[in-house]
Amino acid sequence: MKKIITISREYGSGGRLIGKLVAESLGYDFYDKEIIDMAAQESGLSPDFIKKTEQNLSSGFLYNLLLGSSYSGTANGASSINGTQMLPLADQVFNAERKVILDLAKKGNCVIVGRCADYILNTSDEIDSKSLLNVFIYGNLEEKLKRIEDLYKEPEQAAKKTIQQIDKRRANHYNTFTEATWGDRKNYDIMINSSTAGIEETARLISEIAKHQ
């Protein structure tokens, strides 16, 4: 039985809803936007700031060091106190969310959506990999467009642009803060096209796999 399930997903694939249905089926706790409030308490940053910062600032500190970027003053969101350099704000947000995700995983019996949770938990010495199930959910463009049009009343062209922009931000964020590539099959235990089975059946399949692993 897998005690921790992470859900990575393409925008419009229904990944959040699928994750929620999996949690309900297994009697697990479900975490998505709730992580923002927890990270705010951890970091002292406001929930609204963290929400706006997620995936929008993708220049990680170590990544920029490799490129030779300078973090003087407030460049790239970095700050300093009494001349002592602090991490850029994007990194502060990531580190706060990382700690929250690890704490939640240690408790077990949970489904966590997004935020590089698959990589964070897979590379942590504190988490037993045998208790972890990493899932990536994708979908056909037509189905994703229809879902976004129905949910947010966006016309097709606007919905298509939104999908491209959000998936690009998710990929940039993941690729910067991890040593892996977003959507690469090597990072996940399961990759499912939600357009093939539908939302409910996809959730059922994940639940069954989690029960019997």
Cross-strand partners of 191: 136
Please report the sign of the dihedral spanned by the C-alpha atoms of residue 38, residue 40, residue 43, residue 49.
Answer: positive
Q: What are phi and psi of 128, to 5 degrees?
A: -75, 115
Which residue did the predictor score with more confidence, 86 or 45? 45
**Residue 203's Cα: distance from chain center in Å?**
18
Instruction: Please report the pLDDT score of residue 86 as a whole number.
Output: 67
Q: What is the pLDDT of residues 11-33, one digit of tens each?
A: 999 999 999 999 999 999 999 99
Position 6 confidence tier, pLDDT thresholds 50, 70, 90: very high
What mean pLDDT comes out for the span 168-183?
A: 94
Q: What are phi and psi of 88, to 5 degrees?
A: -55, 155
The DSSP element (H or E) to which 5 belongs, if any, is: strand 4-9
Cα-Cα-Cα-Cα dihedral of 64, 9, 125, 63, to 10°? 0
CB neighbours of residue 140 within 10 Å: 14
Give yes or no for residue 84 having a pLDDT over 60. no
What mean pLDDT comes out for the span 44-70?
A: 64
Amino acid in the structure at residue 7: I
Cross-strand partners of 192: 137
Q: What is the DSSP letter of 108?
A: -
CB neighbours of residue 104 within 10 Å: 21
* Domain segments of the chain as ranges: 4-56+91-211
Contact in structure between 132 and 187 (CB atoms under 8 Å): no
Residues of the chain with pLDDT > 70, as a percent, come to: 85
Instruction: Please report the pLDDT score of residue 82 as a whole number.
Output: 41
Q: What is the pLDDT of residues 138-159, one digit of tens each?
A: 999 999 999 999 999 999 999 9
Residues of the chain with pLDDT > 90, as a percent, come to: 78
User: What gap in Å lies between CA 176 and CA 186, rounded to an integer?
Assistant: 17
CATH of domain 4-56+91-211: 3.40.50.300
